[in-house]
Structure 1
């Protein structure tokens, strides 16, 4: 999808808000197929325990609060990704999104107090190795002149 977006931006210009709109508006009719399930979950959400909103003093079911917070944070995140697609190559965007998902996973593990398993460690290693390979950290370290070489050149 990233390469497709790059192609569209080259041909029609970089319009991240328009791309965000169409990417989210066009699939909406598909949710009609899930209407009964969405309705059932809305009823369950409404029956969840009440939650007092800080500073506002308004009570609402906790599940609706969680959904609202998820919608807000996801909007901020996806808008940032669409802006990033107009400025960076698709591989860079994929790397940034992978790192964001990794951080979300770590936050989720810590917040919900889930165990950090061997598979999580393996995934962590792959994420960081992939990031380091992409940013060419090792090449930059090897290419950086050492202090000894600099001192010899001065003499």
Structure 2
């Protein structure tokens, strides 16, 4: 709801999420700063710089004629970004089945991107110049999403390297990833303040059970912070318990549920072509993960058989 009623409110939403998680982590994980980190702070500093950049760029993309469904679908292309950077940085090579699954994901994103481009152009009926300007802003939004996608994949590779070297510490990583970027919000203070004023002017809402009356946008923000905390806490824990691609699958399915909810509840425009593109994205994601797991199991079984022989 905050992003729908105020599309430019991403910074205040992100700041509230970071602040809540940082305070909770400082109290219960860092033990009021008395517990030293298992991973050196300098590595967390690099990680949170990338994390903060990705969050801010993704927020600003919503101001650049990027619809929320397209925003969700585009970010589901994390497998593509991971594969590309894995080939470039880690010199990995993949089977034809993995490339096929990535092709499906790419086709799905292309279809949704192309159809959204047509919607942006058609919705700008004021004049040719206005239509071109809207399309130019949309292209800039696509470029921002692409940059954020690649940066996020690079952060994943960096995080995987740290976990291999120092061990997996999900609660610690959750705390430092949200506490260290907080000073960066000083540069966004003006925007955060402006939206806080807008939130104060929103219609009043009586919170159920408690009976307290507050501006409805602050209630929406509180619900967003709580649900986001539960979600991100689960993801960080999942990274220590499951393989990285299993985590990717779970996160992708979560995005799919969010996408369906966004379309049905907020009545976002979604054509048959968008559904087809979405289908390609998630079939490709499921296929990629299933093929990886099957190949991993087969290899493990083969190694056991070789040992027995």
- TM-score, normalised via structure 1 length: 0.81
| 1:22 aligned partner | 176
Partners in 2 of 1:3 and 1:37 — Cα distance?
A: 32
Partners in 2 of 1:34 and 1:116 — Cα distance?
A: 33
Partners in 1 of 2:270 and 2:157 — Cα distance?
A: 34
| 1:126 aligned partner | 281
Partners in 1 of 2:221 and 2:202 — Cα distance?
A: 12
Whether contact under 8 Å (1:20, 1:79) holds in the other structure is yes
Range 78-87 or range 3-12, more displaced: 3-12
Structure 1: 4+ residue segments shifted above 4 A: none
Q: Deviations over 1:79-134 (max 9, x none)?
A: 11100111222222222212211211111111112232222431233212321342
| 1:51 aligned partner | 205
Corresponding position: 1:4 with 2:174: no
Partners in 2 of 1:99 and 1:41 — Cα distance?
A: 31
CA shift for structure 1 position 4: 2.4
Range 4-13 or range 26-35, more displaced: 4-13
Corresponding position: 1:135 with 2:301: no
Name stretches of at least 5 consecutive residues in structure 2 with no aligned partner: 1-154, 295-309
Count how many residue pairs are aligned between Structure 1 and Structure 2: 139
Name stretches of at least 5 consecutive residues in structure 1 with no aligned partner: 140-155
CA shift for structure 1 position 48: 0.2
Corresponding position: 1:106 with 2:260: yes
Partners in 1 of 2:173 and 2:288 — Cα distance?
A: 30
Q: 1:97 aligns with which of 251, 266, 269?
A: 251
Partners in 1 of 2:191 and 2:269 — Cα distance?
A: 31
Whether contact under 8 Å (1:95, 1:131) holds in the other structure is yes
Partners in 2 of 1:135 and 1:16 — Cα distance?
A: 25
Q: Deviations over 1:60-93 (max 9, x none)?
A: 1110011111111111100111001112222222
Partners in 2 of 1:69 and 1:47 — Cα distance?
A: 18
The verdict on how the C-alpha distance between 1:89 and 1:2 changes in structure 2, with shifts beyond 3 A counting, is farther
- TM-score, normalised via structure 2 length: 0.42
Larger Rg: 1
Partners in 1 of 2:177 and 2:288 — Cα distance?
A: 31
Provide the alpha-carbon RMSD of the alignment.
2.0
